[in-house]
Amino acid sequence: MKQAVALLALVVLALEAGKHLAGHDAVVEIVSGAIAMMSLMISATFLWLWGERATPLALGMSFSWLGTGLFAGGFWIVDLLGLPVGLRSEDSALVVLAVCIVGALLHFAVIHRSFGRHGMGFLWPVLVALGVSAAGVVLFGG
């Protein structure tokens, strides 16, 4: 944990330095593209691990990283092309979000089974997250 926190601090400092050198928008655009590409590479690695039957979490990890990569990549491309951010409302955004949700569901299902449980009880974290998010939108606008 100490290494992760130290790494986070170094990355934040590097991004702040980049912001002062190139500007906020440039850093966000560069890092968004990099995150998209790294996420897709990680997704492919986990898909391979799933194919090798290395770990039951691999398919969930593959879907989660794929969703993250597509989501970040979508915003990166929108920024690069100077398109309106309103494209988030297109159906393609819903497909990307569905990939993210499937990744989360697969994760929670494996975690649920690792505790020796069966049935649909693994859905509660997803339903709570959706409920809290919906309440936030209703209460604070969106």
pLDDT band at residue 124 using 50, 70 and 90 as cut-offs? very high
- In the chain, pLDDT over 90 holds for what percent of residues? 36
Structural domain boundaries enclosing 21: 2-140
- In the chain, pLDDT over 70 holds for what percent of residues? 92
Mean pLDDT value across residues 7-27: 91
Query: Using CA atoms, how far apart are residues 43 and 21, in angstroms rounded to an integer?
Result: 32
Does the pLDDT of residue 62 top 90, yes or no?
Answer: yes
pTM score? 0.74
- Which residue bears the tokens 């990549």? 73
Say how many CA atoms lie within 13 Å of 66 toward its Cβ: 20
Does the pLDDT of residue 88 top 60, yes or no?
Answer: no
Give CA separation, 17 vs 44, 55, 64, in Å.
31, 39, 30
Does the pLDDT of residue 34 top 60, yes or no?
Answer: yes
Mean pLDDT value across residues 87-97: 67
The per-residue pLDDT of the chain, averaged, comes to 86
pLDDT band at residue 32 using 50, 70 and 90 as cut-offs? confident
- Among 118, 26, 110, which residue's Cα sits nearest to residue 76? 26
Does the pLDDT of residue 1 top 70, yes or no?
Answer: yes
How many separate domains does the chain show? Answer: 1
Measured torsion, CA atoms of residues 84, 20, 14, 1, in degrees rounded to the nearest 10: -80
